[in-house]
Structure 1
Amino acid sequence: MSTSLRERRPTLVPTKPPTRNGRGTRTDPTRMPRILIGVVLALGAAITAFPFFWMISTSLKPASESLQYPPTPFPQTVTFEYYVQLFTQLDFGRYTINTVIIVLFGFIGMILMAMAGYAFGKFQFRGREPLFVLVLATMMIPVQVTMIPTYLILNGMKLTNTLIGIALPTLVGGFGIFLFRQFMSTIPTEMLEAARLDGASEIRIFFQVVLPMSKPILAVQTILTFIAGWNSFLWPLIIAGEQKNYTLSVGLSLLNQQIAINPPLQMAAASLMVIPILIIFVIFQRYIVQGFTLSGLK
């Protein structure tokens, strides 16, 4: 009887103590692998970042220094002459404004895709699954196949050679709707029902309950939308008949054709394309993995 009432103590599994080296100090057996992994990752990061470093370094060099051999990694004389030249002598100010407008149109499309994803994820209606399959099917059609029909439709609507015509075909996409639908399916239905019982409308629920809970996937889609609008090249080149409606990427391609070899000027224009994307990525990077992970739960 006393044995059954005896307190049972948990058995502790002894862990392997750190080994001792010849000097009597303890060493961690996992230290060297971690150091090796850190060195390999640092080397890979340096190799990946070197082209961006060289691009920015060249954009800050005078023309004579950029062509000298052997090349120098750091500019001996720092100059912002070519950045100023892009906006004063060339038309990159207009190209930048056009690109920002297209990106803003893309953010409007992001809200529309969030609404569609919310409807597919949280509402029950007839034909929901076939419609969602149709949305997924649009992801399998190459963009180049639909360019001619899209151009003819916009030409019939008198929207060619306009910024609206450039932004309208890419306003929404099947991949964005899919991401929002997968993420919003994980939002507890009880919270939405509680909001409805409190008298909140569906629009208010979407903007005050659903969107604040969807910050990870909003961050992911913000980056994707910004990159798609900022780097848009082929469609603006097709639809924009006048140079005043060109985007930055189209202007960069014209720069290589219109001006003789001028590495600092070309690298300054390339830096203008790349640096904003890096800034947006650094701001939202902590949400990227979380957003993609949660989007694949269902």
Structure 2
Amino acid sequence: MVSAAMKYEADVLTYPIQWIPERWNVIANFKQVWFSKISFSLFYWNSLKLAVIMTVFTLIFSSMAAFAFTKLQYKGRDYVFGLLLALMIIPSESTLVPRYLLLKWLHLYNTHEGLILMGMFSMYFTFLLRQFMAGIHNEYIEAAKIDGAGYWRIYAGIMVPLCKPILATVGIIKFIWSWNDYQGPLIFLIQQKLFPIPLGIQMFKNDYADNYAVLMMASLAAIVPLLVIFIVLQKQVIKGITLGGVKG
């Protein structure tokens, strides 16, 4: 992909393949992606907006729910958690029609707000965070209570700092899922100005079906943020997944 994005179209399908191009056409391909009639920069902004907002809300709501399911004592806690956990077996495709009707009723169809509303909470990430928090000793909570701390202070001042590895993992995975989401925007968005990167790439495929160099440049631009985030925070991802899987 990287090699093809740097080439002239005539050199993309040459055989044997030229891993390092003899003729470079990077600037022209870059201009066709970012400054053509297709608003790739707008798609980029839409994806960034959706991914960041959904990731932030997921971190907040899922971590608060995980805290409630591990460190708070109330009647029926485990039954409620089991019920929510059971909902994970329902495939998202089977809820497309109810979600569509709900967004139409709320007048949020064809809006970013509707997508954000559906993506701001995840039972999977709540489960992952709960498994991690279950391994944190309750002595921290008891000591904070003795010092007069309330539940909000305990959550924000103790649990969140102790959960940095798993929070980083959840944030990165959620960002990648949101950035790469194709089904949601395809079903719930109809205006081109609202499209994120996956739908934008599809439009490039329609308009540049015979220009693989431009398609590869657009694909490369789409995955660069994901590569950068993962490379920078790779240790946190691996550590968080490992700890979240074995604790509890």
- Give aligned-pair identity as a percent: 33
Name the structure 2 match of 1:41. Answer: none
CA distance in 1, matches of 2:76, 2:220: 47
Query: Which protein is richer in helix relative to its size?
Result: 2
CA distance in 2, matches of 1:148, 1:83: 39
Partner AA of 2:242 in structure 1: T
Candidates 72, 97, 118, aligned match of 2:18: 72
Name the structure 2 match of 1:88. Answer: 35
Give deviations 1:38-57, integer Å, cap 9, x for gaps. Answer: xxxxxxxxxxxxxxxxx111
Q: Could you list the runs of 5+ residues in structure 2 that have no partner in the other structure?
A: none
Higher RCO (C-alpha under 8 Å, 6+ residues apart): 2
Q: 1:132 to 1:76 in 2, by over 3 A?
A: same
Name the structure 2 match of 1:210. Answer: 159
Candidates 147, 168, 172, aligned match of 1:198: 147
Q: How does 1:85-234 map to 2 (within 5 A)?
A: 85-89=32-36, 90-107=38-55, 108-234=57-183
User: Deviation of residue 289 (structure 1)?
Assistant: 3.0
CA distance in 2, matches of 1:191, 1:249: 44
User: Deviation of residue 241 (structure 1)?
Assistant: 1.1
Deviates more, 1:193-202 or 1:109-118: 193-202
Give deviations 1:56-75, integer Å, cap 9, x for gaps. Answer: 11111122222433331112
CA distance in 1, matches of 2:194, 2:79: 39
Aligned-residue RMSD, C-alpha: 1.4
User: Deviation of residue 140 (structure 1)?
Assistant: 0.4
CA distance in 2, matches of 1:105, 1:146: 22
Name the structure 1 match of 2:2. Answer: 56
Q: Is the 8 A contact 2:8 2:213 kept in 1?
A: yes
Q: Could you list the runs of 5+ residues in structure 1 that have no partner in the other structure?
A: 1-54
User: Deviation of residue 198 (structure 1)?
Assistant: 2.2
Question: Larger C-alpha radius of gyration, 1 or 2?
Answer: 1
CA distance in 2, matches of 1:125, 1:82: 60
- Asked if residue 252 in structure 1 is aligned to residue 198 in structure 2, the reply is no
TM-score (normalised: structure 2) = 0.93
User: Deviation of residue 209 (structure 1)?
Assistant: 1.3
User: Deviation of residue 210 (structure 1)?
Assistant: 0.9
